[in-house]
Structure 1
Amino acid sequence: MNNYDDQLPKKGNYINVPQEMNDDDVHRKDMYSYGSMGFEKKYREVQPKFPMKAQDDDLTASQQQKEKQKQIGSLNSKAYLVQPARNLAYYVPKGEIDFLEDDGINNGKPIQLIKLNQEQQWELTEEGIQELSKYQGNVSFVSILGTKQSGKSFLMNQLLKLRESQFESGNDYESYTKGVVMWSAEFPSNPNDARDNNNSILFVILQLISSTVLVNSFGDLSKDSLVPLQDLALLQKFLSLESAEEKEELINLFPKLIYVLRDNQHQVKQNGQNIPINTYLENFLSSDENFRQSSEIEQKIIRRIVKYYKYREGLSMVAPTEPNDPSELNDNFIEELKVLRRKIISVTNKKEFRGVFMNIQMMINFIQFILDSFNQQIKVSLSQAFEVVIKNHFDAVHDDIISLYDEKINQFIGSSSKDDFKSQYEITKFLREIKEDAIKQFYQLKNYDTSENQVLFTDCYNHLEWVLQDKEQLLLKINTQKQQELMERQVDQQYQITKKQVGNGKFQVEDLKNISEQYQHLIQDLLLQYSGRPEQNNEVDPILPTVQKVIQNVSQLFIQEIQESQKLTEQEKNKLNNLKDQLNQHQSSNEKTIQELKNNHKKQVKDFENDKKNQDGKIKNLEKKLDEKQNEVIQLQKSIDQLQKDLQASRKKEKKCF
């Protein structure tokens, strides 16, 4: 690559850039210190009244700096030396100015949003992310561009109605504001080639994220006025613009442009006629003569201003102070500030990307994607950026919905005591309601459900349904475990009561029917607790087979105890057989009912098959208890044998016992 440093524009010189330069070869022009240039004369035959004094080429840079400092004897002379046409717009003592009345528009502070870290990598600051995350809804940015020491900070402080200069500006000759105007801190800039590239990157970032851009320009429109937008010539260096679709997308993403002509008159004359500022701006951009007199790079900048800034407007502002009284803002400047503020508010829209209004988190993801691309030294692809922004937004909504879903489930579970559970009616109703809410929230993403995002929407929706279903099954399992534990305790309590009835010495065969009825009532009570609705008491559930089996085992145990402990008469045996038949009929009836219900509720039975396996394990524990009871019966039989020997001695006493 050729070294074009000697061809960069100097103070008072015209821009002279080799015609063969392409986007990648273009060096940044000296955006900090132009003199009068180019086609300024066409509109107003005015040259700077105070041309810069040439430095002695024989002096070293340090000696030249000392000579300059000697010439700076006062505030006015300092302004005179740095930029005579500025008319103290930048160097007025800020603390002594009568600022606009505070109307509560801004009570914030500068927050650094983007910075270069020690590894020279672009990054979003945590402080910036936290500050942005405080806000909800969509977002828009307004940026101010301008040459070095052109008063951007001063204008921003005035627009924000700040009584103290929050956006700092320097007073020494070499200082200048470095950074993005977004209520943020300054951007670092090193005096080397990396600085130029970083400034170009910063320019591209501002165009991509801003809704409105202000160009801070002094005096009449000239080639100097193109300097703040000179990086338009480098767009293809930083952005992927290979196709017409990508270029059209960039046009739609570009912000609105407001040229602020500082220290200017209210009216501009052209050919002796007053013309509006907007007409003046458009004539400047469309003049064939000016275009021919411009270099190739300047022509490219003009073409891209017209191409990418579809909305553009010009506003003029007089000098902020009078030369004889630099301590106060003049009335005309204050009124024009109000006009500019109203204009910014009226034209600035929410940032839109492919028809989607970006919220704060979307904007953060968008900026992060841009910075990552620059850090990896690859061109920014707007198509990929949109995919990342939408994907992250879908994921964020997906995660928020699941978090809220979990929170509602925890609240629902927490409302129950340790030994309590929810009925099937309660839990089914609850799960249906919170799932409907979750799906309703997710379907708000249909606003972004374009044809290209259909697959993303469908995949995200299917995953959400899968997660919610998995959480539903987990909740049902936990609730069912509580149901089982409570029901088993109630059955065990009834068993202990029955055991006492049998062992009190007054138990008779007829009492077995009452015991069976007690267990049937227990079943009905448990089913009512389980279902939560009386009309569903007969529905099949995982608890019913368990309870019925327990009842059957307990009944068989009692029958065995009576058979082994007593010599039953034929009549008593018939009664017992009848009772057994009744129990079998009842069991058969229950099994028939269960089978019928199973046919009607196959899905429900299938859902609880796993739970039945766990219940079978617990039934084995009950069978173990039955074995222990059988051992007790054997001991009881031995006692009965002893009693029979005693009974042979006294028949009369035996009859009384039975």
Structure 2
Amino acid sequence: MASEVYMSGPVCLIENVKGQLRAKQEALSFLSAIQQPVVVVAIVGLYRTGKSYLMNRLAGKRSGFSLGSTVQSQTKGVWMWCVPHPQKPDHTLVLLDTEGLGDVEKGDNQNDCWIFALAILLSSTFVYNSMGVINQQALDQLHYMTELTDRIRTRCSPKDHDLEDSDEYVSFFPDFVWNLRDFSLELKINGQPISADEYLENSLKFLQGTGQKEKDLNLPQACIRKCFPTKKFVFERPAPGKKLSQLESLQDQDLDSDFVEQVAEFCSYVFRSSKVKTISGGLRVNGRRLKCLVTTYVEAISSGSMPCMESAVLALAQTENSAAVKKAIAHYDQQMGQSVKLPTEMLQELLDLHKTCEKEAIKIFTENSFKDVNQVFLTELKRKLERKQGEICKKNEEASSDRCSALLQDIFGPLEEDVKQGVYCKSRGYCLFNQKIQQLKKKYYEESGKGVQAEEALKNYLQSREDIIDAILQTDQSMTEKEKEIEVEHVKAEATERAWKLLEETQRKNEQLMEQKEQRHQEHMRQLTQNKEEERAQLKEEYQRALEHKIREEKKIQQECERLEEENKHLREKEARRKCTIS
């Protein structure tokens, strides 16, 4: 189970110093330690509208994010608070409180636009906080929404993407929640009670008319309707008069009862409905991945570029796939280290073990990789595993050679000492010496654990002693020429037999290596086909979701047009009846 990260209070995630945005290392370190999936809730709105109070309540606290009690904005940049999710075990709730929009002390709204864009890019639920009712003034204050296409690109291509022409944003954007503070009107339309969500839908209807003025006024509504997959609305006034300046210290009984109930409903909705942050391709974001998104987007803004969601995904894929390769290699090394005892008696034993560990390593990579375009990282992993195989085969040979050298020294050491003492410098000495050699060779063959270099080591040892053997042969004066010839032929035959045996062993090793290489190639092709099919299915699913959202929105617009047409029809009929009455 992934570990939890507890924060005693908020920390600055992105600081805003003289108009420059910079990610803070302390906050990034917190994110790096979060292995659980994260649900990211960001709140944005005009300054002094109570954003921080709501975020503290989501954290289960009365204080934490700075509230302030004056007309001066308190929060600067983006502040983060990571807490265990109250309703989703093994998930972390990441709360992002942003500096207030429209602060006159800042002089211009460039930073406001970037803060607004970052909150959308990083969150899975985006909360917009405002005061009073939703009217044209409130919608005009959402000009940040209409500037998103000047701040965010979905694709790496330099081609511009217009919100009115592109439905890609709905695949990337978070759910939208609009909070209204100090709302005091009755929720009724034409005398009929409506829900809060119906009030929001009614407020997002387009104004009549086809002129440029109507198009400009309708742009915020169009942005919200087209970009956000889910929309929700809530609120009222928390407490009367001067008590607002003491909001942190007030108990629920000191607050307006409707407000207390609505705060509880707001928190319940966020806990219940907010999804895990995901990116294109369906990858669930954890703390480490969220850190990568933060640094990628902030670096793009700081360099004067537009944050690109596809570039962020590719950067994250680069990080994830590099980590997946390391994790797979570490697993391979661990398994081989635990399972292999060098030297192995047969090469095939080592190759079979490598094949098993290689298969497990590739499985681990596949489970942890993301958007491995053209199988670049999988190919790199297989190349590294193939190199690992060569290295361990070499180590196996070296271990075998060391073992055999020590064994040969131990077995043949006494014989070499006898040769030095002249034990075999006599009649039939060569014959006795050769018999001893055969006995010692038999003993050598009976020893276990020699490994794959057993024959090669013995051959090299005997070749290194050929001068000694020849000297013993020459001093054997009593041996007949025929006996000598027989012995010489016997020695040559043995040498030839050993050479053929070594050649066959080498050929068998090469055949085994070629067979395994062919098996790896076939497995690679199978995985390549499978991964391509999975990617096509994922793209098809994302396209289908975007298409369904577009159809739903077009249907709503069509219904709105039909309603307006029906109203116009009634007006025309009424006008006609009035004219008839007059005439």
Structure 2 length normalisation: TM-score? 0.71
What is the distance in 1 between the residues matched to 2:152 and 2:262?
Answer: 36
Q: Does 2:296 match 1:369?
A: yes
Q: How far apart are residue 343 of structure 1 and its match? A: 0.9
Change in 2 beyond 3 A, CA 1:465/1:489: same
Paired residue for 1:529, among 449, 452, 457? 449
What is the distance in 2 between the residues matched to 1:604 and 1:194?
Answer: 74
Show the counterpart of 1:320: 238
Show the counterpart of 1:380: 307
Show the counterpart of 2:131: 218
Change in 2 beyond 3 A, CA 1:506/1:304: closer
Q: After the TM superposition, which residues 498-513 of structure 1 pair with which residues of structure 2 at under 5 Å, given as runs?
A: 498-503=415-420, 507=424, 508-513=429-434
Show the counterpart of 1:282: 201
**Helix, strand or coil at the partner of 2:60:** coil
Gapped regions of structure 1 (runs ≥ 5): 1-103, 532-540, 608-658
What is the distance in 2 between the residues matched to 1:509 and 1:217?
Answer: 107
What is the distance in 2 between the residues matched to 1:281 and 1:227?
Answer: 15
Paired residue for 2:69, among 171, 178, 197? 171
The one-character-per-residue Cα deviations of 1:109-160 (angstroms, maximum 9, x if unpaired) are 1022122457x54332211221112222433311112222011111222232
Asked if the contact 2:130/2:138 (under 8 Å) is kept, the reply is: yes
What is the distance in 1 between the residues matched to 2:208 and 2:221?
Answer: 13
Q: Does 2:371 match 1:463?
A: no
Q: After the TM superposition, which residues 322-401 of structure 1 pair with which residues of structure 2 at under 5 Å, given as runs?
A: 327=250, 328-360=254-286, 361-401=288-328
The one-character-per-residue Cα deviations of 1:337-389 (angstroms, maximum 9, x if unpaired) are 22211211222112233232242333322232222221121223333333323
What is the distance in 2 between the residues matched to 1:473 and 1:596?
Answer: 20
Paired residue for 1:580, among 488, 493, 516? 488
Show the counterpart of 2:551: none
Q: After the TM superposition, which residues 643-654 of structure 1 pair with which residues of structure 2 at under 5 Å, given as runs?
A: none
Asked if the contact 1:149/1:177 (under 8 Å) is kept, the reply is: no
Asked if the contact 1:320/1:330 (under 8 Å) is kept, the reply is: yes
What is the distance in 1 between the residues matched to 2:409 and 2:217?
Answer: 94
Show the counterpart of 1:113: 13
Show the counterpart of 2:498: 590
CA RMSD of aligned residues (A): 3.7
Change in 2 beyond 3 A, CA 1:596/1:221: closer
Asked if the contact 1:141/1:182 (under 8 Å) is kept, the reply is: no
Asked if the contact 1:405/1:438 (under 8 Å) is kept, the reply is: yes
Change in 2 beyond 3 A, CA 1:358/1:124: farther
Q: How far apart are residue 201 of structure 1 and its match? A: 0.3
**Helix, strand or coil at the partner of 2:47:** coil
Q: How far apart are residue 330 of structure 1 and its match? A: 4.1
**Partner AA of 1:262 in structure 2:** R
Change in 2 beyond 3 A, CA 1:514/1:123: farther
Change in 2 beyond 3 A, CA 1:389/1:105: closer
Q: How far apart are residue 439 of structure 1 and its match? A: 0.8
Change in 2 beyond 3 A, CA 1:438/1:427: same
Q: After the TM superposition, which residues 415-454 of structure 1 pair with which residues of structure 2 at under 5 Å, given as runs?
A: 421=343, 423-424=345-346, 427-444=350-367, 448=370, 454=373
Show the counterpart of 1:494: 411
Q: After the TM superposition, which residues 466-481 of structure 1 pair with which residues of structure 2 at under 5 Å, given as runs?
A: 466-481=383-398
What is the distance in 2 between the residues matched to 1:283 and 1:405?
Answer: 59
**Helix, strand or coil at the partner of 2:204:** helix
What is the distance in 2 between the residues matched to 1:228 and 1:155?
Answer: 21
Show the counterpart of 2:552: none
The one-character-per-residue Cα deviations of 1:198-239 (angstroms, maximum 9, x if unpaired) are 111010111112111122233322234336632012123212
Asked if the contact 1:116/1:123 (under 8 Å) is kept, the reply is: yes
Range moving further from structure 2, 143-152 or 187-196: 187-196
Paired residue for 2:61, among 136, 158, 162? 162
Gapped regions of structure 2 (runs ≥ 5): 82-95, 154-158, 245-249, 516-583
**Helix, strand or coil at the partner of 2:232:** strand
Change in 2 beyond 3 A, CA 1:529/1:434: same
**Helix, strand or coil at the partner of 1:202:** helix
**Partner AA of 1:260 in structure 2:** N
What is the distance in 2 between the residues matched to 1:290 and 1:284?
Answer: 16
Change in 2 beyond 3 A, CA 1:256/1:331: same
What is the distance in 2 between the residues matched to 1:381 and 1:505?
Answer: 86
What is the distance in 1 between the residues matched to 2:404 and 2:487?
Answer: 26
Larger fraction in strand: 2
**Partner AA of 1:387 in structure 2:** L
**Partner AA of 1:208 in structure 2:** L
**Partner AA of 1:591 in structure 2:** A
Paired residue for 1:551, among 462, 481, 485? 462
**Partner AA of 1:583 in structure 2:** V
What is the distance in 1 between the residues matched to 2:486 and 2:477?
Answer: 17
What is the distance in 1 between the residues matched to 2:22 and 2:242?
Answer: 46
Q: How far apart are residue 569 of structure 1 and its match? A: 4.9
**Helix, strand or coil at the partner of 1:143:** strand
Change in 2 beyond 3 A, CA 1:575/1:195: farther
Asked if the contact 2:15/2:23 (under 8 Å) is kept, the reply is: yes
What is the distance in 2 between the residues matched to 1:606 and 1:278?
Answer: 67
Show the counterpart of 1:567: 477
Structure 1 length normalisation: TM-score? 0.64
